[in-house]
Chain A
Amino acid sequence: MAKTLFKKIWERHLVKTLSDGSSLIYIDRHLIHEVTSPQAFEGLRLTGRKARRPKLGFATMDHNVPTDDRVNIKDPISREQIETLRKNCKEFGITLFDLDNDKQGIVHIIGPELGITLPGTTIVCGDSHTSTHGAFGALAFGIGTSEVEHVLATQCLLQTKPKTFKVEFRGRPKSPVGAKDLILKLIGTIGTAGGTGYVLEYTGEAVRALSMEARMTMCNMSIEAGARAGMIAPDETTFQYIAKGNRPFAPKGKDFDKAARFWKTLPSDANAKFDREITIDASKVAPQVTWGTNPGMVLDVTERIPEPDKVPGLSKKDVEQALNYMGLKPGTPITEIKIDTVFIGSCTNARIEDLRASSKILKGRKISQGVHVLVVPGSEQVRKQAEAEGLDKIFKEAGCDWRFSGCSMCLGMNPDQLKPGERSASTSNRNFEGRQGKGGRTHLVSPEMAAAAAVAGHFVDIREWK
């Protein structure tokens, strides 16, 4: 019988179907960070349990980490959480990429970078953006702290089998429209709960043409459509990415050839059935800008802020609440919205290609007066690569703040936050109320759109940028 990519991986990891119908699934990689793990390790200690397969766990600190001075962390509670991860990894035998390690970075950036993320594996992390790793044809999803403890203790998870949802992007987007615009367009189309209960598989000409880094951007925001996981079938682009970089945990030589033979069996069979399908014409997608307080509240850059009673799928009250929070009036063109902050970073858009794309816009230009631009590389390796290419100089000469790696202003757990009423163009993934700082107003965009907004001081249609 024809099988989907998801089904092939699911069956390969099914340990047992229990009498109550739930599936016991084996986990190949457990990524761990400082925020959602302390209570899980404490649970193990209280019950006298050990980590069953500590070698399959990889940890780093990213959420709390200051992006300026990482040695002297001023916030004592952040410091304690970071030190707790250090102690827990040592006690339970888990590999840690600590703050002084050149492999440290956002957990979803370093997994692929180090070759920890591989096709056909199951990957979990106490973080909803674990969906990022699905770009390699892995089944990767976010879990809560109880499940973190569960994986540590048993290397398995009890799951209900999700349904499958094929998302086909036909045609090619017109550059500089890219992965961020495609995924925002999808979320705007199916809504923030359109994918709940499903695993998405992205296919089609536009997806096949994306680089690995762009595929990660796409899969990263699957959760913003409500889907725990998003996946893309592995192909030559995937194999090249794994083979070419310095990826210490990836197979090499004969092991690589053997692994690649297996990876080639993973793509969905031609006649595989999905529970749901949607097709989006990628050639017609415009640069996207969110206007509200969830990622489904998104429009083409050429549109205007909607009337509260004219948004499909949303109540008038919900739209009014969002516009009130965002301080926006119906009828305002998106391109007339002024911003005072730009954040280029996060597990969505802080890889080297993202920094190249935004620096290209900023090269030889100055950011608009009164705008603060924060550029936070996704990992220390990305930072070093960017510096080797001179991108840091371009950013600094334009007037941007160039930082060390971490989650930073995506969620503002560290000191990088918006103040009440400040408005950002952000390459991150969530525009929830207060996400980047209490009272802060977030517009989600691509790295190119964020850089152009930094120069202009307001949103611009990047297709007309010269």
Chain B
Amino acid sequence: MKAFAKHRGKIATLDRSNVDTDQIIPKQFLKSIKRTGFGESLFFDWRYLPDGKPNPDFELNAARFKNATILVARNNFGCGSSREHAVWAIQQYGFHVVVAARQERGGINVPAFADIFRSNCGKNGLLTIELSEAEAEEIFQMVGRFPGLEATVDLEHQRFTLHLDEEISFHFELNSAVKNRLIHGLDDIGITLKEEAAISSFESHHNSQLK
């Protein structure tokens, strides 16, 4: 996995919550036995009209979001199926970072990201950043006012900074184990294989209940 340190890039906003993995990459593209070639099909049903032309009403098709590398959406991004193809599609389209908002309203707590999706992102070096609803709203507002707005993500210091005349900067929380693996580009299997002795010792007394 490629190490992630700092990233500066253009922001694209997707003003939707509960973006599920069926929308991120529809089923017909899951038949591939490869890990590549998914970027063209990202958000396929939203992105293209029935005749195959780009849908002008879909946010990401707007000229101002061309070559964006940071995607910002609302809460519960990536819910649904466990398909890792969703992560591959987002990365292969050109995004390095996905930002989403947690929502706290009337006693209901909605996290920014769905669990399996977020875990899959970590295994592929796609950084997920959870911000508060107010912080995400500010990004939506600023991107609306300043087309082409860029941001810098500093993973080490856990800061997300909007490049405005007067910079706006947000702190974000991140699981320390995930952060460490992203910064050093560590591969999970490599980490686990170093624990060979512990695994063998465990297996010597563990009963998996298979006759």
Contacts and interface: CB of A to CB of B under 8 A. Distances in A.
Interface stretch (A310-318, A347-355, A452-460): A310-318
Nearest to B119: A144
Interface stretch (B3-11, B30-38, B146-154): B30-38
Contacts of A196: 76, 110-111, 114-115
B22 A150 contact: no
Contacts of B135: none
A294 B20 contact: yes
Contact of A294 (B18, B82, B119, B188): B18
B137 to A, nearest CB: 12
A313 B110 contact: yes
A194 B106 CA distance: 13
B31 A126 contact: no
Interface residues of A, number: 82
Interface in B138-167: none
Interface string B67-105: 000000001100111111101000000000000000001
A164 interface: no
A78 interface: yes
B195 interface: yes
Given A38-B33, A156-B199, A432-B22, A127 B82 contact: yes
Nearest to A145: B84
Contact of B111 (A78, A197, A433): A197
A197 B175 CA distance: 13
A413 B80 contact: no
Contacts of A317: 15
B96 to A, nearest CB: 18
Interface in A21-47: 21-22, 24, 26, 28-29, 35-36, 38-39, 42, 47
A128 interface: yes
A149 interface: yes
Given A20-B180, A143-B116, A318 B191 contact: no
Contacts of A226: 76, 79, 111, 114-115
Contacts of B81: 127-128, 411, 430
Given A16-B198, A144-B83, A193 B26 contact: no
Given A15-B199, A39-B34, A193 B114 contact: yes
B195 A16 contact: yes
A84 B30 CA distance: 14
Contact of B82 (A75, A144, A252): A144
A305 interface: no
A24 B31 contact: no
Contacts of B110: 191, 193-194, 196, 313
Contacts of B175: 160
A412 B115 CA distance: 24
A118 interface: yes
Interface string B47-80: 0001000000000000000000000000110011
B171 interface: no
Contacts of A18: 177, 191, 195
A39 B33 contact: yes
B31 A77 contact: yes
Q: Interface centre among A18, A20, A411, by most B CB within 10 Å? A: A20
A265 interface: no
Interface of A is mostly: loop
A435 interface: yes
Contacts of B199: 15, 24, 26, 154-156
A24 B200 CA distance: 13
A228 B82 CA distance: 10
Contacts of B75: 193
B192 A24 contact: yes
A161 B28 CA distance: 34
A223 B192 CA distance: 27
Interface string A74-91: 010110110010000000
A300 interface: no
A144 B17 contact: no
Contacts of B111: 193, 196-197, 226
A78 B30 CA distance: 9
Contacts of B192: 24, 150, 153-154, 156, 158
B209 A430 contact: no
A77 B32 contact: yes
A111 B16 CA distance: 37
Given A55-B210, A193-B75, A226-B79, A147 B108 contact: no
Task: Please provide the 7 A-B residue pairs with the shortest distance between their CB atoms, ordered closest to farther.
Answer: A146-B123, A144-B120, A144-B84, A38-B33, A20-B177, A142-B82, A145-B84
19 contacts: A16-B198, A18-B195, A36-B83, A39-B35, A47-B189, A56-B208, A126-B82, A144-B84, A146-B84, A146-B123, A155-B199, A156-B195, A156-B199, A193-B76, A196-B114, A223-B80, A226-B114, A315-B17, A411-B27
Given A24-B198, A249-B210, A249-B211, 15 more contacts: A24-B199, A35-B83, A36-B82, A42-B33, A55-B210, A144-B84, A146-B84, A147-B119, A155-B199, A228-B115, A252-B211, A313-B106, A413-B27, A430-B20, A435-B22
Interface of B: 15-18, 20, 22-23, 26-28, 30-35, 45, 50, 75-76, 79-85, 87, 105-106, 108-111, 114-116, 119-120, 123-124, 175-177, 180, 188-189, 191-193, 195, 198-199, 202-203, 206, 208-211
Interface of A: 12-13, 15-16, 18, 20-22, 24, 26, 28-29, 35-36, 38-39, 42, 47, 49, 55-56, 63-64, 75, 77-78, 80-81, 84, 118, 120-121, 126-128, 142-147, 149-150, 153-156, 158, 160, 191-194, 196-197, 223, 226-228, 249, 251-252, 255, 259, 294, 312-315, 317-318, 321, 411-413, 420, 430, 432-435, 438
